[in-house]
Amino acid sequence: MDGFEEIYRQHFGAVFRFAIHCVGRRELAEDLTSEAFLELYRNWARIDASQLPGWLITVVKNRATDHWRRSSREELFANPPAEAQTEFDLRLGGFLLENKALKPPHRACLILRYVHGMNREEIAQKLGLTGNQVKSYLQYGLQLLREELSRNPRKAGQ
Amino acid sequence: MSERKNDIGPDEQELLKEFGTSFEALSARHADCPKPELLLASQAGVLDEEMAGSIATHLGKCAFCQILLRDLTEAGLDAARPEEEQRVRRQVLVATAGSAKAQKAGGGILLVWLRRAVPTAALAGIVLAVVVWIRFHQPIGPVPAPATADVQPVKTAAPSVLQWEKLPLKLQASSVLVMRGKPRTAQEKYVAELTGALAPYRDDNFSEAAQKLTKVTQVFPDGVEAQLYLGISQLSLQKNAEAIPPLAKAQQLGPQTFREDATWYLALALQREGNTKQSVAELGKLCQGKSSYSQRACTGVQELSALPVARP
């Protein structure tokens, strides 16, 4: 098994990142990544290093496909009738699109909070951040939103 | 839509109130938004055609989901944290420990990594990762009994929740700390012996696992993993009386997560031996706690309490 650790270190990052994109849940991405490397370990004798990391990526992709196939559509897609957008939605949407001071993590935190209704702990888990980072991003985003709203106050009747 | 704990700050409440809305109303309004993981998966090409089509349709009309997908992709949040890398490494280590290939390779990746020095600064992370791993990798549901040529566990009729199940392999933090590579310490020897003994357990060969683990416990009686997995292996072989001493020892040794595992299997061993009263007492400990066993333990207490009095 000479070289296995080197291969692991070389490709772990890319395989994990791909796994995150495939399943979106960090703990599941860990499992898929370890499964891919275990599969490599089992097939070590017949895998050429030039096939990597493609071979590992394919293992992750196949496992992820199986994962989603097993998940019921009802569980994944509640799909209840959505209510019409309110002024808050419109203002939040415009703010997220136009405010240049917001960075991707700020926006992701704000959307997960105010659109997906997640608590800070859930957001931290989802994004791989600490609770304090999420709190800080949300505070900053909320502060900018307030400033935006004060510059363009809500009109009467809206 | 995920369940949300009430962690809404007064500033948030004030803002939402100003707009005549609430968190609940916001969540309900966007309940048709796919989970973030589905948005990502739709781009990775791992969804079936129908689901990928549904998400594409939704993305076409929902600005929030468009922004979220773009930001999740661009934010660089997909990089592994050190503790995540350590957990993956550990999963690979445990699963490959002592395998034939590893032995052929002079100890395999486990020993290669064991011998390699881990930077001291990373140790705290490793301990934390192990604690988290152990905490969150408890068995949450019954695991099917292995289909091997080995002696199969015989399921008892009652109680329904108290059945034998294979506990996934795990090591406690102090067993991982030998990754620092201190040569030939007792702890390092223990881990080397343990990993070899756990290989047949991993392969569902509980007879061989019991033999090897018995030897390990004779040399290292305070090795909690060896005691625990010996007890579980004995149980799988229906050697219930023999399972009780190592499980009781593991329960005594702790730490907490191993204590909970040991208590669960001890309750099973006692119940199989007809000692219902003591089995209920052990389950009662779990029932009062907050482990992954709690709910099943409470059900077990109820079911066992309803059984006719067993032989003494």
With contacts defined as CB-CB under 8 Å, which chain B residues touch A105?
A: 71, 75, 77
| pLDDT of B114 higher than 60 | no
| pLDDT of res. B263 | 93
Residues 6+ apart with CB under 8 A from A8: A37, B89, B92, B109
Smallest Cβ distance to B71: which of A67, A104, A121? A104
B197-223 tens-digit pLDDT: 888 888 788 899 999 999 999 999 998
With contacts defined as CB-CB under 8 Å, which chain B residues touch A89?
A: 26, 29
Query: What confidence category does residue B27 fall into, taking pLDDT thresholds of 50, 70 and 90?
Result: confident
CB B211 within 8 A of CB B242: no
Q: Which CATH number fits domain B82-305: 2.30.30.140, 1.10.10.10, 3.10.450.50, 1.25.40.10?
A: 1.25.40.10
| pLDDT of A30 higher than 90 | yes
| pLDDT of B295 higher than 60 | yes
Q: What is the mean pLDDT of residues A95-109?
A: 87
| pLDDT of res. A77 | 61
8 Å CB contact of A118 and B4:
yes
Tell me whether B117 touches chain A (CB under 8 Å).
Answer: no
For the packed helices A131-151 and B10-18, what is the interaxial angle rounded to 10 degrees?
30
In this predicted model, which residue has the larger pLDDT, A23 or B138?
A: A23
Highest mean pLDDT, choosing among B244-253, B272-281, B303-312: B244-253
| pLDDT of B73 higher than 60 | yes
| pLDDT of B7 higher than 70 | yes
| pLDDT of B64 higher than 60 | yes
CA distances in angstroms from A139 to B6, B69, B247, listed in the order given? 17, 22, 50
Domain ranges across chain B: 10-74, 82-305
Query: What confidence category does residue A16 fall into, taking pLDDT thresholds of 50, 70 and 90?
Result: very high
Which residues 180-209 on chain B approach chain A with CB closer than 8 angstroms?
A: none
CA distances in angstroms from A7 to A40, B47, B65, B175, listed in the order given? 10, 29, 36, 25
Q: What is the mean pLDDT of residues A53-69?
A: 92
Every domain range in chain A assigned CATH 1.10.1740.10: 4-76
Smallest Cβ distance to B96: which of A26, A38, A86? A38
Q: What is the mean pLDDT of residues B90-105?
A: 62
| pLDDT of res. B2 | 43
Q: What is the mean pLDDT of residues B304-310?
A: 58
| pLDDT of A83 higher than 70 | no
The span from the CA of B199 to the CA of B148, in Å, is: 15
Tell me whether A108 touches chain B (CB under 8 Å).
Answer: yes
8 Å CB contact of B112 and A87:
no
CB B21 within 8 A of CB A114: no
Sequence letter at residue A127? L
- In a mutagenesis test of the A interface, which of B43, B84, B111, B128 is the best target, namely the one with the most A β-carbons within 10 Å? B84
Smallest Cβ distance to A119: which of B7, B64, B92? B7
CB B148 within 8 A of CB B205: yes
| pLDDT of res. B262 | 92
| pLDDT of B48 higher than 60 | yes
Residues 6+ apart with CB under 8 A from B192: B111, B114
Query: What confidence category does residue B241 fall into, taking pLDDT thresholds of 50, 70 and 90?
Result: very high
CB B40 within 8 A of CB A102: no
Tell me whether A156 touches chain B (CB under 8 Å).
Answer: no
With contacts defined as CB-CB under 8 Å, which chain B residues touch A134?
A: none
Q: What is the mean pLDDT of residues B42-46?
A: 87
The span from the CA of B19 to the CA of A149, in Å, is: 11
Every domain range in chain A assigned CATH 1.10.10.10: 87-151
ipTM tops the 0.90 cut:
no
Query: What confidence category does residue B105 fall into, taking pLDDT thresholds of 50, 70 and 90?
Result: very low
| pLDDT of res. B82 | 87
Which residues 124-163 on chain B approach chain A with CB closer than 8 angstroms?
A: 136
Q: Which CATH number fits domain A4-76: 1.10.10.10, 1.10.1740.10, 1.10.10.60, 3.40.50.10330?
A: 1.10.1740.10
Query: What confidence category does residue B266 fall into, taking pLDDT thresholds of 50, 70 and 90?
Result: very high
Tell me whether B36 touches chain A (CB under 8 Å).
Answer: yes
Q: What is the mean pLDDT of residues B27-53?
A: 85
- In chain A, pLDDT over 70 holds for what percent of residues? 86
The answer to which of A137-146, B127-136, B294-303 has the lowest mean pLDDT is: B127-136
Q: Which CATH number fits domain A87-151: 1.10.10.10, 1.10.287.110, 1.10.3720.10, 1.20.910.10?
A: 1.10.10.10
Query: What confidence category does residue A60 fall into, taking pLDDT thresholds of 50, 70 and 90?
Result: very high
Highest mean pLDDT, choosing among B7-11, B153-157, B198-202: B198-202
With contacts defined as CB-CB under 8 Å, which chain A residues touch B63?
A: 93, 96-97
Smallest Cβ distance to B87: which of A30, A126, A154? A30
Q: What is the mean pLDDT of residues B69-91?
A: 84
| pLDDT of res. B171 | 65
8 Å CB contact of A82 and B29:
yes
Distance from CA of A64 to the nearest CA of B (A): 6
B165-192 tens-digit pLDDT: 878 776 664 554 343 445 567 777 787 7
Which residues 115-154 on chain A approach chain B with CB closer than 8 angstroms?
A: 115-122, 126-129, 142, 145-146, 149, 154
DSSP code string of B228-278: HHHHHHHHHTT-HHHHHHHHHHHHHH--HHHHHHHHHHHHHHHHHTT-HHH
In this predicted model, which residue has the larger pLDDT, B144 or B293?
A: B293
| pLDDT of res. A81 | 52
Highest mean pLDDT, choosing among B79-83, B120-124, B287-291: B79-83
Distance from CA of B270 to the nearest CA of A (A): 34
Q: What is the mean pLDDT of residues A111-129?
A: 88
8 Å CB contact of B78 and A17:
yes
